[in-house]
Structures are given as structure tokens and as C-alpha cells.
A and B are shown apart, each in its own frame.
Chain A
């Protein structure tokens, strides 16, 4: 299963608008996607759930692990990584 690590550089971390964009993009893929906060050593949660993503507490400078399984898993992981790396288009 494809998996990537990426560091969140956005000022507010994975909260507010960045979190909403992340979950929206994740939800557009058919595969199962999880996200974990590596910096805080947290458990993986459903990346399509805004509430789950918020409770991860990803702040600026934290590294997250994105993993996908199923249809379009590679595309999903690549697209989410790109979103985070582009600083959520800002």
C-alpha cells in the first residue's frame, strides 16, 4: 500500500481551512485513506473525517503519514502530499 510522510508547514497546522481542504480532497477518492501524526506518535485515523483529522492535533512543523488502500490509492497519496507541500495553495 502506498504511504508517504510529509511535514506540514502551514501557519495554523492541519486545522481550519487546511484541514477542510485536506478532507475534501481525501473524500474525492474511492480508496480508504488514513492519516497519522508521526510527530506525536498518534494512531492512524480516517482521512475523510474532518473530526478525526482535527483530533490528530497536527501543528506547524509536525510530520504526518498518509496511507491509502484500494482503487486509486497511488493517486490519492500523491495528490494529498502535493496539497500539503504546496502549503494548501497559499
Chain B
């Protein structure tokens, strides 16, 4: 048969080439026999549940050995569901109404799974699958069938299935598994998560019809980065993907080799790569992934976990722990950035028609000085002996910056007169996330030490697109030339005053944006920790001149789609 290309969702990176193994779950037929007494039926249920619990405990240990704690915990969750009062009640109710136990279990599970699926959320869909998985296990035991699942693999294969449950994959031998593709499922489905944990390529959500095009044993090429499955590939296609697989492997080795080193362009320009961090755990994670500092420390978590604002002492403790975890690397602390979309219970918010244009971030802090001062005091006190910078969010004009700095001066004077130890010379910067701040960047740069571009909000405000509104979500385009031009304007304005500009929005960690940003002269990038190794590698592939050319070309384009297409081509060229 000729080559066929199927498109699904890219769930786990990498390329696999090999024979398809069509996985068909055991067919479980619910018997129509007449029920014995409820006591007898329920006694069989109890015995089957007991065996199921033993199986789950065995699987848990097996998976712990082959994958990790998180994958193993799925079977703890299954054991919990098995003993769950809701499931027990639903089964009991049906047995008492005269159903046999197989019917009762099958119907109860179906009913609960339907309730969970009805919540139209990927997380609940996955739990619905868990409940069904537990139900199938009990039913299989009641029918006296063995626990086989995916242990029949005899040669290295790509698993092809409708969908896979944790029970299906528990006995899977990772040595014989080249990759996964499934008809249903999304990025957070069990298959996708398992594949990423095991470092195997996977494509999910191929569609039910697509499966009919994949016969058992057919040769497949699976590209987990593009979400593509090619059935019966031509010899030339196989050769092309084999080469790509080798390249990927080599690149992965290179990426890991440079992850721990400081980032430089190919011609030696220093670019700082920091991490966006929201708590102590993510600070530790950042260090592991090679962060050279924290480009954005979100402080909201302190304010949203309690029914009253955090005390100064509590904040000092939390900040200090994070600064210490960074072992001398710089940390940019963003002052409180909350609004009516995520209100803490102790702040009185009027019903806002548009919280993103409402009372939020620096506006709240300048209205509630005790709240603001407490945070600034805590930051300055915790900063002693560490490299700490302060950044105000959502500045839209010079008066806000001046007011905030005046409060900071007051706080310093208070700490001084109270004789408390504090760091007096903490650099102060602003988030550039409103078009107003960009327009005024030359003026603002004179009165602060640095800028940090918040591209999520800058994109939202520039393009007038509410990123939480699904109907316009596709118009949320951070690579829109309008946004790129504002970024350039901001960086240029800071450099003209001898100041620097960083970026802590999602754009900073996007591979397709990084060459442009390097070309525009961005000084510091801050991103989710796990994006850091790839970013460092990519920056090493660029010279300043080449990056400047790329930036100039990108900024001359008219639409986000054109920029995307151009950057796709550039990344291919760079081997990224």
C-alpha cells in the first residue's frame, strides 16, 4: 500500500520508526444470568475487590520500578476509587434492585464515568477513564479472566490503540516500546504523560477513523514533535526520518551539555537566561535547569493562600529562603500583581466588567499603602546579602513610577529609623506591559534601572484581545508584528539611557521568538525552567549579526502568520 500521512496532537517529542502493534483491550461480556441473593452477589463483589486491590498493589510496585512515583500513584488512586463509598453505594443499590453483580458493577461505573465526563474538562475526562479502568478490572476478575494487558509485546513496536488506561500500560516493557499513538486523548491524557515520563515519542488524538488505516504489523514513522504518523512509509521517507532522529539525538546531547553554562551567542555576546518562579520549589527547579537567576519572582502565591495578607515576618522568611536557594544568583522580585480576575478574600473588589482594565497590580498597591509598604519592607529586609532587584507591575505612566519610588524611599527611612537591617541599594525596574509604557519608554528609562517586558499582557493590551475569551483566543498572537515593534521600541529606549531590558512573558521562552529577541538586543530572558536548556542551545547557534538580520526581516513582515512561517524556516536552518 502507498504511504499515508495521519495528523494528530504532538504529545511527546521524538521520532520512532517500527512495526505497529494494534492493542485491543480484552472484550468483557456482561452475563445476563439471573441474580442470586443480594448477599451472595455482594460477597462475590467483595472477593473480586480484594483481588483487584492486590493486583493494584503489585502494579504500583512494578510501575515504580519502571517509571516514577507519579505514574505509580495512579494505582493508589485506583485503589481509593475501588473502596469509594459512592461506587460501593451505586453497586449495592443495583444489586438490591435485583441485578447480578456483573451488571451492577458495569452500570454503576458507567453512571459515575458519565457524571465525570459531563463536566467537560480534560481532567475529569481522565478521571472518568480511571473509574472505567477500575470497573473493568473488577469485571474481568468476576468473569475469571487473567490480567494480560500489554505484556504480549515480543519485538520493539509502536503501540497503536483507541486509548490506553494506566492498567493497559502498567505491564508495558519500555525496552520493547518505541512510541505510542492513540485515537483519542489530549496533552494531559494518561498516554501523553506516560510517554513524556518514559521519554518516548507519542501522538494522540488521531481520530477514530484514522486507526482503521493502521493494520497490525504495518511499518510506521511517528513524529512526536509534529504530531504526525506515516503508515507504510516509502523508503525515502524512512531514510529522511532516520536522519532526523540521529540529528535530534545529537542535538539533545548538545543541549544537555550546555545547560549548566552561561549563555553566549556564537560571537560571544552575553545573554542572561533566568527563570520565572512562583515559590521555593520552582526556585530549586530553576537552578537544576541551569537558570542564571530569577527574572520574575511572582509574589501572588503569598497573598492568595490565606484569608488575610501575609505578615512582614512571613514574607521575609519566604523571600529569604528563595534568595538562598538561588545561591548568589540575581532575583527580580515583582511586587504584588493581582486583580479582580483572581481576588484574595480580604480585598474588597467591586464587580468589575473588565478586571484586566480595572483595579489591579500597582494600582491596588498605591491605594492600599499598608499592604504595599509591608511587602517592600519585607523585600528590602530579606535582600541583605543577596542580589535582589524590585520590579513594579503594570506601570502605565511616570506618575505611578514616581509614587511607587516615593513609597520605597519612605520605607527605607522607616527601616533606618527602626534600626532594622535592610539592603539600601536595590535596583528598581518596571514591567513594560501596557502600550502606554512603551510609548513613554524613553521617559521612564530615565527614572528606573531596568525594564522587563511582560509580553502576555502587552500582547493582550496592544491587540485588544482578552486572552481568556475563547472566541478571540486565536487573535492572541505574541509574534504579531505590532507587538514585535513595541518590543524593539522598548529595548532601544532603555539602551539609549544606558539601561537594560529583560523579558518575562511566555514569548521569552519560545524558540521561534528567541532569534528575533536576540537580534533586537534583549539583554535578559526569563522563562519556565524547563525551557532553559533549549534556549541556551539556540542562542549559541546565533551570531549577533545573523540575529539582527532575522529581527529586521521579521519586523518588516505584515502578519503574525508570516512571522511564524519565516521563523519556522529559520529554526530549520539553525537545526532547532
- A residues near B (Cβ < 8 Å) are 7, 9, 12, 15-16, 20, 23-24, 45-46, 48-52, 54-55, 57, 60-61, 85-87, 90
Contact = CB atoms under 8 A, between A and B. Distances in A.
Nearest to A56: B119
B119 A49 contact: no
Given A16-B123, A61-B342, A9 B85 contact: no
Given A16-B123, A57-B119, A61-B342, A85 B306 contact: yes
Contact of B305 (A9, A23, A24, A48): A9
A51 B123 contact: no
B307 A51 contact: no
Contacts of B77: 20, 50
Interface string B73-101: 00001001100111100000000000000
Contacts of B116: 51, 54-55
B279 interface: yes
B131 A51 contact: yes
Given A20-B77, A55-B115, A85-B305, A48 B123 contact: no
B112 interface: yes
Contacts of A23: 80
A89 B80 CA distance: 21
Contacts of A16: 123
Interface of B: 77, 80-81, 84-87, 112, 115-116, 119, 123-124, 127, 131, 279, 281, 301, 304-307, 342-343, 345
Contacts, number: 52
- Closest 9 pairs between A and B when the two form their complex, measured CB to CB: A51-B86, A49-B86, A87-B305, A49-B85, A9-B304, A52-B86, A51-B84, A49-B84, A9-B305
B253 to A, nearest CB: 34
A90 B124 contact: no
B85 A48 contact: yes
Contact of A52 (B85, B123, B127): B85
Contact of A46 (B81, B86, B345): B86
A52 to B, nearest CB: 5
B99 to A, nearest CB: 20
Given A7-B345, A54-B127, A87-B305, A46 B85 contact: yes
7 contacts: A50-B84, A51-B131, A54-B116, A55-B119, A57-B124, A85-B305, A90-B281
Contacts of B127: 54
A45 B343 CA distance: 27
A48 B86 CA distance: 9
Contacts of B119: 55, 57
A22 to B, nearest CB: 12
A45 B307 CA distance: 25
B128 to A, nearest CB: 10
B117 to A, nearest CB: 11
Given A51-B86, A57-B119, A85-B306, A90 B279 contact: yes
A2 to B, nearest CB: 18
A76 B131 CA distance: 27
Contacts of A45: 86
A85 B304 CA distance: 10
Contacts of B342: 60-61
Contacts of B85: 46, 48-49, 52
Nearest to B280: A90
A87 B306 CA distance: 8
A15 B86 contact: no
A41 to B, nearest CB: 16
A34 to B, nearest CB: 12
Contacts of B131: 51
